[in-house]
Amino acid sequence: MDNGDIESGEEEFHGQRGRKYRPVEAHDRAVLEMSSMDPGSSSSSSSVPPIRHPSLKKVKVGSQTGTEKEGNSPTRIDVNGPQRESKLEFFGFDSLVNILGLKSMMGEQIQAPSSPRDGENVSMTQGLPKTNEVKSGTLMGVFIPCLQNILGIIYYIRFSWIVGMAGIGESLVLVAFCGLCTFLTSISLSAIATNGAMKGGGPYYLIGRALGPEVGVSIGLCFFLGNAVAGALYVLGAVETFLNAVPAAGIFRETVTKVNGTTVEPIQSPSSHDLQVYGIIVTILLCFIVFGGVKMINRVAPAFLIPVLFSVLCIFLGVFLAGKNDPTEGVTGLSLESFKENWSSDYQMTNSAGIPDPLGKVYWNFNALVGLFFPAVTGIMAGSNRSASLKDTQRSIPIGTLAATLTTTVMYLVSVLLFGALATRKKLLTDRLLTATVAWPFPAIIYVGIILSTLGAALQSLTGAPRLLAAIANDDILPILNYFKVADGSEPYFATLFTAFLCIGCVIIGNLDLITPTVTMFFLLCYAGVNLSCFLLDLLDAPSWRPRWRFHHWSLSLLGASLCVVIMFLISWSFTIVSLALASLIYYYVCLRGKAGDWGDGFKSAYFQLALRSLRSLGASQVHPKNWYPIPLIFCRPWGKLPENVPCHPKLADFANCMKKKGRGMSIFVSILDGDYHERVEDGKAACKQLATYIDYKRCEGVAEIVVAPTMSEGFRGIVQTMGLGNLKPNIVVMRYPEIWRRENLIEIPATFVGIINDCIDANKAVVIVKGLDEWPNEFQRQYGTIDLYWIVRDGGLMLLLSQLLLTKESFESCKIQVFCIAEEDSDAEGLKADVKKFLYDLRMQAEVIVITIKSWDTQVEGGQQDESMEAFTAAQGRIASYLSEMKETAESRGTTLMADGKPVSVNEQQVEKFLNTTLKLNSTILRYSRMAAVVLVSLPPPPVNHPAYFYMEYLDLLVENVPRLLIVRGYRRDVVTLFT
């Protein structure tokens, strides 16, 4: 209820109804704790909204710039510039084809709407200004980057050795196994990429939008680290190859010795300092190319790739030209004998350089070869990493990635057959650069190919990694990454600089043997994330899942993800655990420090479908008491006015949390705005947002709902009928007791209050009314004493359940429960006490049982409570007699029957006196036994039929008089606890 509206006459002021009661002041103790909330979250700076005609709606564009002034006719602004407009309109107002709506779906920045209503609820992105950027096609944007990343140093210096160790048969299995993993990942990548427009970030963008921001950021940062460190690996490989080919270029000299039998041979090898110096220089040069932007990279990339492809051609020519009489020892040419000899595997011990040595410390098997070879097939994400620089992501990414994957896989398979038939096994295992030995016309071409292939791969890593980091920063999930944000279409210079420093740091370390397996794990983790994203989207099959890639099925994605996990554990289970632990730490950090982002991810869709299936499985039948949970409907602001920045009484959220066990359950916070729906719809949206912010501030699990209705009674009646769905409808209505009604002489409140109680009874809702809400303890205020239950009428065990829920909270865990059973004097008190004890024992509830017998017609009270209770009793009698006499005078003057609250009533004065006496007795009993109780729970009597609402409020006032903290509880026609297991 907005500011506690009551049906109080027809007077209106600035579109709001007049109020006749004293508001709760901002300095009241009950609302002081809310002073720390941002006052800007208030729905408006003034409690009185301006008058406006329904046709004059406010237009919200971006950050509300360029809004129209009220009272002026809206200015029409053409989207495509000032031109004569002619469009087909529906009923003379709405255009059937609205270019504004189409552009907003594409996320484009658009101008102000052409009319006030055209601009309603249109999401318009107001991002950073776009700059003109060179866009790449399939060849230069995807195929060449992927080919450069995949075709690397392993093919030149390790592939022939792998064939010699594993044999032709197992080498074919190895290549097919690793190639199948990347091929399935490419298919999954293609399916997601063709499901809609794709922004920058590549695999991070796809994973984050499918699996949620937490998973996306954790895998995205790991993939960024993998690309940055991989750049350092490629640089070191290029420098080491260069120093081996040109030893004179070394600045430092480092000599190692090799023991060959009884002979000691000195061997010159590149110094670690040379690797560091040249590595830093090469990294800086590559970064200058990256700083030049996509245009510069596209110009330089062919210069790196063409010599590499030429060197591969020279290798194949050398293989076919090598004959049986080749002067090189061990090279037999393409020979069937060599093919048969090398078909089977020959795993053996080697030294650290891979040379067979019976005394070596490294034993090779298929699992180890998977870890060695798999980096040769990574790099399939190089094109998608540059998704922001592509002209058409939906076309370029599938074609370019799959073409590069298939091209390199076929080349590897053919190379296995050729190398296996080219040389003896000894030659394959001892000649590390067999590709250079057989290359035609001279071996130097291979050195050039190795250097340029590694530099090309390093260039693509240094190009993709900064764009990946900038995409993560632009999503504004982690505030710590705000330094790396860039405008749409701009180059990520700061992210590139950070990547360069990270790469240089790894180059300075030099020895990356411990980091290299983790880098491979990061790539595999990313591939598994892409496959799982596609699997989840395919399995859910949401209406928005419409990929253009038609050759896909969820089983392929599941197989691809499984292969990634298998390969991770085949390579090293310890490094797998390390990479998963790092990703988990980032995930946990994002959950703690990250900002919420709703991208419509697959998990949200899965939760939604699970909720729908669960709701259908519950059906329409009543939930069994063993599975019953309270779903309170919190009536936020009745019976008083709160400050504008307090959308709900602060203690109501504390009480709502007390109705949950270990945080399970859900609360629905409802407020009612008085007025016309069309006029106050925007106020309702602002109030709903403010109320949701309040719920988050109070750390209360629940949802906010705002209802606009002409009166409070009509609004509540609509809420109690329609709120919720199936068995997830709220089952308990919670509100504060209207203590101000008599103090402020608000005679309109009783009719509204009684109407709400009757509505709850008719709708079969339980009711909990909190008296003394301002004094309700928060989670840090520990209470002592007892929780007293006055069990007057059968309520299905709701009071017992509420008392047990209170004991689970820290503030009430030191209290004990007392159950007071109110019985007539002629009843069997001892038998009733025994039955209640047995009942509580079967319910596993610890409580002391006290049976009190009273006579409803006896006005004598006991103890020191006589004066307090009798004084309240006498005052209530006088007010009821005065009200009754006024009713009789009005009826006599009009010649009608007794009327109250706009309907006829019948008053039995003897019955009224009996109700007052019974209430007096209960009040005196409560004051006698429970004056010092932490909280008192008492049954809520139903409103008597045909009695004025004023009388019922007097009964309740007498019942709760002088009780500081009390819950008035009414159950509904069902049990909420059960004896059975």
Mean pLDDT for the chain overall: 77
CA dist., res. 235 & res. 258, Å (int): 27
Q: What is the pLDDT of residue 259?
A: 47
Instruction: Compute CA 712 distance to the chain's CA centroid, rounded to the nearest angstrom.
Output: 35
Q: Residues 886-935: pLDDT tens digits? A: 888 888 888 888 888 778 888 888 888 888 888 888 888 888 888 889 99
Contact status, residue 438 vs residue 331, Cβ threshold 8 Å: yes
Q: What is the pLDDT of residue 625?
A: 62
What does the pLDDT average to over 831-836? Answer: 81
Least confident of 89-98, 166-175, 471-480: 89-98
Q: Which long-range contacts (CB under 8 A, 24 or more apart) does 491-494 make?
A: 491/291, 491/293, 492/466, 492/467, 493/291
Confidence grade of residue 253 (pLDDT, cut at 50, 70, 90): low
CA dist., res. 92 & res. 620, Å (int): 45
Q: What is the pLDDT of residue 597?
A: 65
Q: Residues 351-393: pLDDT tens digits? A: 776 778 777 777 888 988 998 899 889 888 888 877 777 888 8
The residue with greater pLDDT, 173 or 5, is 173
| Tokens coding 567 | 């390969």
Within 489-634, residue ranges assigned H as helices are: 493-509, 516-540, 554-571, 573-593, 602-618
pLDDT beyond 60 at 59 = no
How many other C-beta atoms lie within 10 A of the C-beta of residue 45?
A: 8
Instruction: Compute CA 406 distance to the chain's CA centroid, rounded to the nearest angstrom.
Output: 37
Put simply, whether the predicted model's pTM sits higher than 0.75 gets the answer no
Q: What is the pLDDT of residue 41?
A: 41
Q: Residues 726-740: pLDDT tens digits? A: 777 888 899 888 888
What does the pLDDT average to over 28-55? Answer: 43
Q: What is the pLDDT of residue 183?
A: 93
pLDDT beyond 90 at 15 = no
Q: Residues 415-442: pLDDT tens digits? A: 999 999 999 998 898 887 888 888 888 8
Q: What is the pLDDT of residue 13?
A: 34
Q: Residues 293-310: pLDDT tens digits? A: 777 887 888 888 888 889
At the topology level of CATH, where does 138-254+268-593 sit? Answer: Amino acid/polyamine transporter I (1.20.1740)
Q: Residues 111-156: pLDDT tens digits? A: 443 333 333 343 333 444 444 556 788 888 889 888 888 888 888 8
Q: What is the pLDDT of residue 954?
A: 87
The residue with greater pLDDT, 106 or 429, is 429
The residue with greater pLDDT, 376 or 725, is 376
Q: What is the pLDDT of residue 595?
A: 76
pLDDT beyond 50 at 73 = no
For residue 556, the number of C-alpha atoms closer than 13 Å in the C-beta half-sphere is: 17
CA dist., res. 332 & res. 424, Å (int): 7
CA dist., res. 968 & res. 789, Å (int): 10
The residue with greater pLDDT, 858 or 426, is 426
Confidence grade of residue 50 (pLDDT, cut at 50, 70, 90): very low
What does the pLDDT average to over 698-727? Answer: 85
At the topology level of CATH, where does 621-771 sit? Answer: Rossmann fold (3.40.50)
pLDDT beyond 50 at 843 = yes
CA dist., res. 561 & res. 65, Å (int): 47
Q: What is the pLDDT of residue 19?
A: 37
Contact status, residue 668 vs residue 723, Cβ threshold 8 Å: yes
Residue given tokens 């090779």 in the structure block:
364
Q: Residues 617-655: pLDDT tens digits? A: 766 666 666 666 788 888 887 776 677 677 888 788 888
Q: Residues 473-491: pLDDT tens digits? A: 988 888 888 889 888 778 8
Confidence grade of residue 266 (pLDDT, cut at 50, 70, 90): low
CA dihedral 838, 844, 850, 851 (to 10 degrees): -40
Q: What is the pLDDT of residue 102?
A: 46
Q: What is the pLDDT of residue 125?
A: 38
Confidence grade of residue 856 (pLDDT, cut at 50, 70, 90): low
pLDDT beyond 50 at 884 = yes
Least confident of 17-26, 493-502, 827-836: 17-26
Percent of the chain with pLDDT over 70: 76
Percent of the chain with pLDDT over 90: 12
What does the pLDDT average to over 492-503? Answer: 91
The residue with greater pLDDT, 462 or 78, is 462
Q: What is the pLDDT of residue 273?
A: 83
Q: What is the pLDDT of residue 711?
A: 87
Q: What is the pLDDT of residue 785?
A: 86
Q: Residues 578-617: pLDDT tens digits? A: 889 999 999 999 888 877 666 666 677 777 777 777 777 7
Cα separations in angstroms, 361 against 163, 256, 260, 352, 370: 21, 19, 17, 7, 19
Q: What is the pLDDT of residue 176?
A: 95
Domain boundaries, the chain: 138-254+268-593, 621-771, 789-980
Contact status, residue 204 vs residue 220, Cβ threshold 8 Å: yes
Q: What is the pLDDT of residue 565?
A: 93
Highest mean pLDDT among 191-200, 267-276, 283-292, 413-422: 413-422
Q: What is the pLDDT of residue 71?
A: 41
Contact status, residue 439 vs residue 311, Cβ threshold 8 Å: yes
Q: Residues 746-793: pLDDT tens digits? A: 778 888 888 889 988 888 888 999 988 888 887 788 888 889 988 766
What does the pLDDT average to over 83-90? Answer: 46
For the four alpha carbons of 744, 749, 753 and 756, in that order, the dihedral sign comes to: negative
Q: Residues 563-589: pLDDT tens digits? A: 999 999 988 888 899 889 999 999 999
Contact status, residue 436 vs residue 199, Cβ threshold 8 Å: no
| Tokens coding 955 | 């009964």
CA dist., res. 661 & res. 663, Å (int): 5
